[in-house]
Amino acid sequence: MNIKNIEIYEGLPKVVVSISGTSFADIQKEIVQVKENTDALDIVEIRSDAFDNMSRSEHLSLVNEVCKELSGLPVIYTYRTSHEGGSGSKSYAEYKDLLTDVITKCDIDIIDIEFITGGNVISDIVDCAAEHGKTVLLSHHNFKETPRLEEMQKLLYKMHSAGGEILKLAFAPNDADDVVNMLKIVKIGKEAIGNKVIGISMGESGRMTRLAGGEFGSCMTYGYITKNTAPGQVHAARIKDALKAYEN
């Protein structure tokens, strides 16, 4: 899948950095940082839960401003709810309303939809994204623990059947086995459905999934330029550097 000249499923995993400022001024600064560090990243994620207190029209125009300023880069739109480690507090109905508004009115490329938290509204959002040519990234996070391997496998297949083009699992590991299982589930996913999976073990002990996950089939890895949006993230330039070891 090619988005803005980036082959998402081929070669090294693509480095995603988040824009997570809470104000227009903060986000302007982040845009400058992204522009100055384009060698260290491939994709930008807008973490819109950070500016949840803006009006809808300010929200949509800020998203479009980022898309315009960074028009050469694929843009993922993410509204991360408090159920999955973010600061968003919208109800299911409000979540659906926001995401469908963004899909229909903004120039984003990929929409991150929370598979579990989205509940029964996700199929409507998935259909809306398909209608408007946006790529669906279904995600699920747990900041406390990593489910058993069989559970993760079932979850991944359900996410795939629900219309996820890219599937992301981000779980906190409690021991080294959890990290190994995360790499295993990425490999299982790759064998079953291709390089469409992103597997992240959050926290310091899971860092290797961010650096070496591509060897097992992770198609993207999340890092930071200005400030991290999850535990265990590594600076994007350091990720790019580490990935050189896997270049053919």
Ligand X SMILES: O=C1C[C@@](O)(C(=O)O)C[C@@H](O)[C@@H]1O
Active site residues: 141, 168
Residue from 46, 230, 234, 243 touching ligand X (CB under 6 A): that is 230
The number of residues that bind ligand X (CB under 6 A) is: 15
Nearest in space to 202 (alpha carbons), one of 145, 155, 138, 137: 145
**Is 148 labelled as part of a ligand binding site?**
no
Distance between CA 200 and CA 218 in Å, rounded? Answer: 9
Beta-bridge partners for 45: 18, 76
Which residue, 131 or 222, is less far from ligand X as judged by CB? 222
Which residue, 67 or 199, is less far from ligand X as judged by CB? 199
Distance between CA 29 and CA 110 in Å, rounded? Answer: 23
With contacts defined by CB under 6 A, name the span among 29-37, 87-95, 147-155, 227-235 that binds ligand X: 227-235
Nearest in space to 13 (alpha carbons), one of 179, 193, 212, 192: 212
Answer whether 182's CB lies under 8 Å from 155's CB.
no
The answer to the question of residue 201 lying near ligand X (CB under 6 A) is no
With contacts defined by CB under 6 A, name the span among 124-132, 146-154, 174-182, 222-230 that binds ligand X: 222-230
The answer to the question of residue 41 lying near ligand X (CB under 6 A) is no
Helix (H, G, I), strand (E, B) or coil at 52: coil
Min separation Cβ 248 and ligand X, Å: 26
Residue from 14, 59, 134, 168 touching ligand X (CB under 6 A): that is 168
The answer to the question of residue 207 lying near ligand X (CB under 6 A) is no
**Is 46 labelled as part of a ligand binding site?**
yes
DSSP 217: T
**Is 233 labelled as part of a ligand binding site?**
yes
Ordered DSSP codes for 171-194: E--SSHHHHHHHHHHHHHHHHHH-
**Is 153 labelled as part of a ligand binding site?**
no
The answer to the question of residue 78 lying near ligand X (CB under 6 A) is yes
With contacts defined by CB under 6 A, name the span among 87-95, 121-129, 229-237, 240-248 that binds ligand X: 229-237
Site string for ligand X, 177-196 (x = CB under 6 A): --------------------
Helix (H, G, I), strand (E, B) or coil at 153: helix
Nearest in space to 243 (alpha carbons), one of 44, 1, 39, 75: 39
Calculate the CA 9 to chain-centre distance. 14
Distance between CA 39 and CA 28 in Å, rounded? Answer: 19
Going by the annotation, the residues of the binding site for 3-dehydroquinate are 18, 45-47, 80, 210, 229, 233
Chain residues binding ligand X by CB under 6 A are 18, 45, 47, 78, 80, 112, 139, 168, 170, 200, 202, 222, 229-230, 233
